[in-house]
C-alpha cells in the first residue's frame, strides 16, 4: 500500500467521521479509484491507528460512523480568548496611551469604527482582538512605549 496515498485516504476518513457523514469501504474505493480490498485495508489501518475513536458499523445501512460525534447542525463556538467586549477594548487602549484617532490610524480604520467597538455597537474582529492582546502583553513586558513623537535632529 502506497503510504502517501494511504495517509490521504485516512485523512478523508477523519473528515467524514468528524463531519458526521456515514460512509463505507465501497464509497472510499469509489472516491479514490482503488479496489475494495485496498479500501478495506485502509479502514483497518485507520481503526488500528485511531483506537481511541469510537467507530461503529451500522449493519442495517452498512456504513461506518463515529458514535460520539456532534450533530452536523451544531457550529463550533469561538474560544473566549478570541472575544473581547468594548470595556476591555477601551481599557487596553487606555493602557497603551492611545486616543481613538491614534488607534484608528494604527489599524487603518475610521475612528467611528473604534468608537462603535468600544460602545459595543459592532463586534470586534478576531484579528483586532489578537493584535490588542499582543500590544497589551508587549506593554506589560516593557516593549511598548506608546505613541512616540519623532525627534528631528538638527
H helices present in the chain, as ranges: 3-18, 25-32, 36-49, 86-95, 100-107, 111-119, 126-140
How does pLDDT run across 118-134, given as a tens digit for each residue?
A: 998 988 888 888 888 88
H helices present in 50-125, as ranges: 86-95, 100-107, 111-119
pTM above 0.85, yes or no: no
Delineate the domains of the chain, giving CATH numbers in brackets.
3-66 (1.10.10.10), 80-140 (1.10.260)
Task: Quote the longest CA-to-CA distance of the chain.
Answer: 86
How does pLDDT run across 77-89, given as a tens digit for each residue?
A: 555 556 788 899 9
DSSP designation for 23: B
For the record, the C-alpha cell of 71 comes out as 450533530
How does pLDDT run across 41-66, given as a tens digit for each residue?
A: 888 888 888 877 888 888 888 888 88
Say if CB 35 and CB 68 are below 8 A apart: no
Amino acid at each position: 500500500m502506497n503510504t502517501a496515498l494511504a495517509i490521504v485516504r485516512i485523512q478523508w476518513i477523519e473528515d467524514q467521521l468528524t463531519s458526521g457523514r456515514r460512509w463505507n469501504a465501497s464509497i472510499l474505493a469509489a472516491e479514490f479509484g482503488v479496489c475494495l480490498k485496498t479500501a478495506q485495508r485502509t479502514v483497518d489501518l485507520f481503526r488500528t491507528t485511531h483506537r481511541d475513536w469510537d467507530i461503529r458499523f451500522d449493519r442495517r445501512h452498512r456504513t461506518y460512523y463515529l458514535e460520539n460525534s456532534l450533530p452536523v447542525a451544531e457550529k463550533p463556538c469561538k474560544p473566549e480568548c478570541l472575544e473581547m467586549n468594548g470595556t476591555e477594548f477601551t481599557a487596553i487602549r487606555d493602557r497603551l496611551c492611545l486616543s481613538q484617532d491614534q488607534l484608528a490610524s494604527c489599524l487603518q480604520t475610521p475612528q467611528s469604527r473604534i468608537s462603535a467597538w468600544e460602545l459595543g455597537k459592532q463586534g470586534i474582529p478576531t484579528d483586532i482582538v489578537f493584535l490588542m492582546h499582543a500590544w497589551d502583553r508587549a506593554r506589560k513586558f516593557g516593549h511598548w512605549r506608546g505613541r512616540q513623537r519623532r525627534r528631528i535632529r538638527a
